[in-house]
């Protein structure tokens, strides 16, 4: 069965920061489903999605939520699939609240928590790809190429800096 990744967000207000996650997964040609489902506002729907995710062909679930962010934790409570949590920078505390809510899981229910907002969203996608690449040689090769392109980008910027400084 082909690998599929779910991106779940607590609100449509999370989408602008989360799009980096979707775009990165698409760069690697990953089959992605995106959904709005809230641990607080639609708890039944969220629990059902998480409980059925494995049977529905998902391999990894990425959850993004802000404020008192319980989405990743609730999803992780209902599945044995790996869950990646992205704290969103919404509300008065701009993501510090959601970071602590997402990362401080009790022993037994892990959530792999990335950084706040769009940078974390991009890393969540890459982490999911790295998980899938454990069983997919073509994907592993794409990740190697990605690392090479990162290094090439730094080298190019450094060359420009040295030129500017002359």
Task: At 57, give phi and psi (nearest 5°).
Answer: 90, 10
Q: CB under 6 A: which stretch of 11-19, 46-54, 79-87, 118-126 binds ligand RP5?
A: 11-19
β-partners of residue 32 are 5
Applying CB under 6 A, the site for ligand RP5 has a residue count of 10
Among 6, 8, 14, 22, binds ligand RP5 (CB under 6 A): 14
Among 18, 50, 88, 129, binds ligand RP5 (CB under 6 A): 88
DSSP, collapsed to helix, strand or coil, labels residue 107 as coil
Q: CB under 6 A: which stretch of 5-13, 48-56, 103-111, 114-122 binds ligand RP5?
A: 5-13
d(CA 71, CA 65): 6
Which residue, among 78, 90, 17, has the nearest Cα to 43 in the 3D structure? Answer: 78
Q: Which residues bind ligand RP5 (CB under 6 A)?
A: 10-11, 13-14, 38, 65-67, 88, 90
């Amino acid at each position: 069965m082909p690998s599929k990744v779910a991106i779940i967000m607590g609100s449509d207000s999370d989408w602008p920061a989360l799009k980096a996650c979707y775009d990165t997964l698409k760069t690697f040609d990953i089959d992605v489903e995106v959904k709005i489902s809230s641990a607080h506002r639609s708890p039944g729907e969220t629990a059902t999605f998480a409980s059925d995710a494995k049977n529905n062909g998902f391999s990894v679930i990425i959850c993004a939520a802000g404020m008192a962010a319980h989405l990743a934790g609730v999803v992780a409570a209902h599945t044995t699939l790996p869950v990646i949590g992205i704290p969103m920078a919404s509300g008065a505390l701009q993501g510090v609240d959601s970071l602590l809510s997402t990362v401080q899981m009790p022993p037994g229910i892990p959530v792999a928590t990335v950084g706040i907002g769009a940078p974390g969203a991009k890393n969540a996608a890459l982490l999911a790809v790295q998980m899938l690449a454990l069983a997919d040689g073509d994907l592993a090769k794409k990740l190697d190429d990605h690392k090479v392109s990162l290094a090439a980008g730094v080298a190019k910027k450094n060359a420009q800096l040295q030129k500017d400084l002359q």
